[in-house]
Amino acid sequence: MSFPPPRAAVSDSLYDGVEKMLRYIMESCPRAPLDSNEPTSPDQLLLSHRTDAVQIWSDTIYMLSPFLASAAAFRTLPPSYRPDTPAPYTARALMKKALQQIDLAATVLEKATGEWAHIYDFGRRDFKRAALWGVGNGWVCAGIIRMFNTLACPILSASESPDQRDVYPDLDQLGLGSNGDLRPLLRAVYDILLNTLRACLRHKLPGTALFHDVLDDPHSFVETNLAQMLAYTIYRLLDLHAHSARFRALGLPPLFSDDRVVWEQEADAMREAARVKTDRWGFVRDVCGSPTFNKPGTAAEGQAWGVMMEVAWAQYSWHKQSASGK
User: What number is the average pLDDT over the span 204-213?
Assistant: 95
Q: Is residue 8, in this structure, part of any structural domain at all?
A: no
CATH of the domain at 274: 1.50.10.10
Q: Is residue 4, in this structure, part of any structural domain at all?
A: no
pLDDT band of residue 51 (cuts 50, 70, 90) is very high
- Interhelix angle 134-152/91-109, nearest 10 degrees: 160
pLDDT, tens digit, 9 for 90 and up, residues 188-203: 999 999 999 999 999 9
pLDDT of residue 323: 84
Q: Is residue 117, in this structure, part of any structural domain at all?
A: yes
Segment of 73-77, 134-138, 164-168 carrying the highest mean pLDDT? 134-138
Per the CB < 8 A criterion, the answer to whether 61 and 135 are in contact is no
Mean residue pLDDT across the chain: 92
Residue range of the domain that includes 173: 14-324
Residues of 227-240 as b/e, b for ≥16 C-beta within 10 angstroms? bbbbbbbbbbbbbb
Question: Is the confidence at residue 220, as pLDDT, over 70?
Answer: yes
pLDDT, tens digit, 9 for 90 and up, residues 62-119: 999 999 999 999 999 887 777 776 668 999 999 999 999 999 999 999 999 999 999 9
Q: Is residue 175, in this structure, part of any structural domain at all?
A: yes
User: What number is the average pLDDT over the span 130-156?
Assistant: 96
User: What number is the average pLDDT over the span 239-256?
Assistant: 94
Q: Is residue 260, in this structure, part of any structural domain at all?
A: yes
pTM of the model: 0.93
User: What number is the average pLDDT over the span 141-170?
Assistant: 88
pLDDT > 90 in the chain, percent: 77
User: What number is the average pLDDT over the span 34-53?
Assistant: 86
Question: Is the confidence at residue 307, as pLDDT, over 60?
Answer: yes
pLDDT of residue 7: 66
pLDDT > 70 in the chain, percent: 94
User: What number is the average pLDDT over the span 293-312?
Assistant: 96
- Interhelix angle 257-276/300-324, nearest 10 degrees: 140
Report how far residue 54's alpha carbon sits from residue 255's, in angstroms, rounded to the nearest whole number: 37
Report how far residue 60's alpha carbon sits from residue 103's, in angstroms, rounded to the nearest whole number: 12
pLDDT of residue 119: 98
Report how far residue 73's alpha carbon sits from residue 68's, in angstroms, rounded to the nearest whole number: 9
Domain count, the chain: 1
Better-predicted residue by pLDDT, 86 or 52: 52
pLDDT of residue 222: 97
Segment of 94-98, 154-158, 256-260 carrying the highest mean pLDDT? 94-98
pLDDT of residue 40: 76
pLDDT band of residue 212 (cuts 50, 70, 90) is very high
What string of DSSP letters covers 263-299? HHHHHHHHHHHHHHTB-TTSPBPSEE-TTT-SSEE--
Q: Is residue 197, in this structure, part of any structural domain at all?
A: yes
Residue 114 DSSP class? S
Q: Is residue 7, in this structure, part of any structural domain at all?
A: no
Q: Is residue 97, in this structure, part of any structural domain at all?
A: yes
Sign of CA dihedral 78, 80, 82, 87: positive
202: helix, coil or strand? coil
204 Cβ contact list (under 8 Å, min separation 6)? 210, 211, 266, 270
Question: Is the confidence at residue 37, as pLDDT, over 80?
Answer: no
